[in-house]
A and B are shown apart, each in its own frame.
Chain A
Amino acid sequence: MQISHKIVLTGAAMGASAVAMPATGLTLDVTLALPRLSVAEYHRPYVAIWLEKEGAPARTLSVLYDVDKRNNGGVKWLRDIRMWWRASGRSLALPADGISGATRAPGTHKLSFTAGKGGMPVLTPGKYTLVVEAARESGGREVVRVPLNVTAAGARGSAGGQFELGAVSAVLSR
């Protein structure tokens, strides 16, 4: 999968630019806000963060869930992050180093992904979408999509949710 992914990306990039250099050494910083909700029964949301590019398989950067449940029991409910499950989750073996993480409390969180480490691929220039999906037990589910136009210098973008996610921003830089 990794090999075909790179081939597709390189092909697409060559079409766009004659000097398409992979943006190596770049770090993607994702800042996302989980809203504080006044509900009788609150459970921290399961959150998935992934990258999409047309014609290439989706790449999961991080999935936050009950990683400490006995017998890997948290995995059972990952399909409730439904769009992620269809796009990428169901093809992963979890837990996975550098991808699986614990759920987060309400507030603003910063997650950093270094190209070539964990689930973060080395990005060639092109149009990507960073997708964040949050699903809360006995609560709602929301998907926020952040368009990222990646150049050799990096990229930045932001978007916001209304229900289960607050502001989401992403900066790809050296």
Chain B
Amino acid sequence: MMTFRKTLLLLAATAAMALPQMAGAARPWMLPSETMFAGSGNEWLTVDAAISSDLYYFDHPGQDWQPVVTAPDGSTAQVENRAIGKLRQTFDLGIRTKGTYKIAIVNEMLMGNYMLNGERKMLPRGTTAATLATAVPQGATDVQTATARTRIETFVTAGEPDRKVFTTTGKGLEMVPVTHPNDLAVGEAATFQFLLNGKPAAGLDVVAIPGGIRYRSDLKQMDAKTDAEGKVSFTWPEAGMYWVSLSSGGRRGPGGEGSGGAPGAAGPQGQPQGVGGPRPPMGPPQDRATYAMTVEVQG
């Protein structure tokens, strides 16, 4: 009996460790040191990037994400002094020209499984399209894969906001501003459109949470659902940095496809429903997409 319980606990612990780092309440984010710059040509932005439960504190092991910066003219700008710590990474960006900059972290992973010698094996974590061929051993059959795309963004503007950086790739979840993300203020409504693989992401749950969670009782999460055009609006109750995020896909079993809840909408441990009961048979893996941006609301 004792042994049986220990085994169960071990299994549970292993399952928890195997959860993707972004599942559940762990929230991926970037935090800019400023969002408004004078545009004098010699200013510096510092950005922190991390995955955490509390916004915006470092409380979770991070990942070696590569940031990509789009300068106001649409070209790619280089970050400097990039350092990767245990709980966060940080980097600097020279703000040389006027206009809006987009800082993005885009991650694409393959999930899936295959049959080998009569057993179903999982693809190792971190598999990408480039490494799939080596990740699947010879003799494997019935290879099933799905893509998990994560896009984390933040925006800063020197001088007046402009819109040249808001081009989309048609992959995963992406944000198209109706209201410019560097033009938000207390008491004003802001509208954003979300696309999933280039098409309006309709009917998805979107959350907006102000930073500073650790020292308050009320999470102050605002919930909204995208309309048929993938649009969602928030009216900001107070000034500060907000984390705005949504996800799609990734749920397995009945009703799973495309009904992705917002990150953090599950229980405190990020467990899907039905834990403890018999698991539904494992269906083919579903594509997943997650988007998270940090925006500053003036007040």
The reply to whether the CB of B7 lies closer than 8 angstroms to some CB of chain A is no
Interface membership of chain B positions 43-63, coded 1 if the CB is closer than 8 angstroms to chain A and 0 otherwise: 100000000000000000000
Structural contact, B40 and A90, CB atoms closer than 8 A = no
- Which residues of B sit under 8 angstroms from A75, Cβ to Cβ? 38, 40
Structural contact, B160 and A86, CB atoms closer than 8 A = no
The reply to whether the CB of B185 lies closer than 8 angstroms to some CB of chain A is yes
Structural contact, B183 and A86, CB atoms closer than 8 A = yes
Please tell me the size bucket of the interface on B: 10 to 19
Shortest CB distance A54–B (Å) = 12
Q: Assess A91 versus B160: contact at CB under 8 Å? Given A82-B298, A83-B299, A86-B185.
A: yes
Structural contact, A86 and B298, CB atoms closer than 8 A = yes
Shortest CB distance B97–A (Å) = 14
The reply to whether the CB of B192 lies closer than 8 angstroms to some CB of chain A is no
- Which residues of B sit under 8 angstroms from A79, Cβ to Cβ? 34, 36-38
Structural contact, B38 and A78, CB atoms closer than 8 A = yes
Q: Which residue of A lies closest to B36 (CB)?
A: A79
Q: Assess A90 versus B299: contact at CB under 8 Å? Given A76-B43, A83-B185.
A: no
Which residues of B35-85 are within 8 A (CB) of A? 36-40, 43
What is the CA–CA distance of A27 and B183 in the complex, to the nearest angstrom? 32
Q: Which residue of A lies closest to B34 (CB)?
A: A79
Structural contact, A90 and B159, CB atoms closer than 8 A = yes
Q: Which of A75, A76, A77, A79 has the most CB of B within 10 A?
A: A79
What is the CA–CA distance of A82 and B37 in the complex, to the nearest angstrom? 11
Shortest CB distance A95–B (Å) = 13
What is the CA–CA distance of A78 and B34 in the complex, to the nearest angstrom? 13
Does more than half of chain A's interface fall in helix, strand or loop, or is it mixed? Answer: helix
- Which residues of A sit under 8 angstroms from B298, Cβ to Cβ? 82-83, 86
The reply to whether the CB of A85 lies closer than 8 angstroms to some CB of chain B is yes
Which residues of B137-190 are within 8 A (CB) of A? 157, 159-160, 183, 185
- Which residues of A sit under 8 angstroms from B39, Cβ to Cβ? 90
Structural contact, A82 and B38, CB atoms closer than 8 A = no
- Which residues of B sit under 8 angstroms from A83, Cβ to Cβ? 185, 298-299
| Number of residue pairs A-B, CB distance < 8 angstroms | 29
- Which residues of A sit under 8 angstroms from B34, Cβ to Cβ? 79
What is the CA–CA distance of A43 and B40 in the complex, to the nearest angstrom? 23
Which residues of A35-51 are within 8 A (CB) of B? none
Shortest CB distance A161–B (Å) = 15
What is the CA–CA distance of A130 and B34 in the complex, to the nearest angstrom? 27
Structural contact, A82 and B36, CB atoms closer than 8 A = yes
- Which residues of B sit under 8 angstroms from A77, Cβ to Cβ? 38
B36 interface neighbour in A72, A85, A91, Cβ under 8 Å: A85
- Which residues of B sit under 8 angstroms from A86, Cβ to Cβ? 36, 183, 185, 298
- Which residues of B sit under 8 angstroms from A78, Cβ to Cβ? 38
Interface membership of chain B positions 255-299, coded 1 if the CB is closer than 8 angstroms to chain A and 0 otherwise: 000000000000000000000000000000000000000000011
What is the CA–CA distance of A90 and B182 in the complex, to the nearest angstrom? 12
What is the CA–CA distance of A63 and B36 in the complex, to the nearest angstrom? 18
Interface membership of chain B positions 14-46, coded 1 if the CB is closer than 8 angstroms to chain A and 0 otherwise: 000000000000000000001011111001000
Shortest CB distance A21–B (Å) = 32
- Which residues of A sit under 8 angstroms from B160, Cβ to Cβ? 90-91
What is the CA–CA distance of A83 and B187 in the complex, to the nearest angstrom? 13
- Which residues of B sit under 8 angstroms from A76, Cβ to Cβ? 38, 40, 43
Shortest CB distance A78–B (Å) = 6
- Which residues of B sit under 8 angstroms from A82, Cβ to Cβ? 36, 298
What is the CA–CA distance of A134 and B40 in the complex, to the nearest angstrom? 22
- Which residues of B sit under 8 angstroms from A90, Cβ to Cβ? 36, 39, 157, 159-160
- Which residues of A sit under 8 angstroms from B43, Cβ to Cβ? 76
Shortest CB distance B94–A (Å) = 15
What is the CA–CA distance of A86 and B183 in the complex, to the nearest angstrom? 7
- Which residues of A sit under 8 angstroms from B38, Cβ to Cβ? 75-79
What is the CA–CA distance of A30 and B118 in the complex, to the nearest angstrom? 84
10 A–B contacts from the bound complex (CB under 8 Å): A75-B38, A79-B34, A82-B36, A83-B298, A86-B36, A90-B39, A90-B157, A90-B159, A91-B159, A91-B160
The 5 A-B pairs with the shortest beta carbon distances in the complex, nearest first, are A79-B36, A76-B38, A86-B298, A91-B160, A90-B160
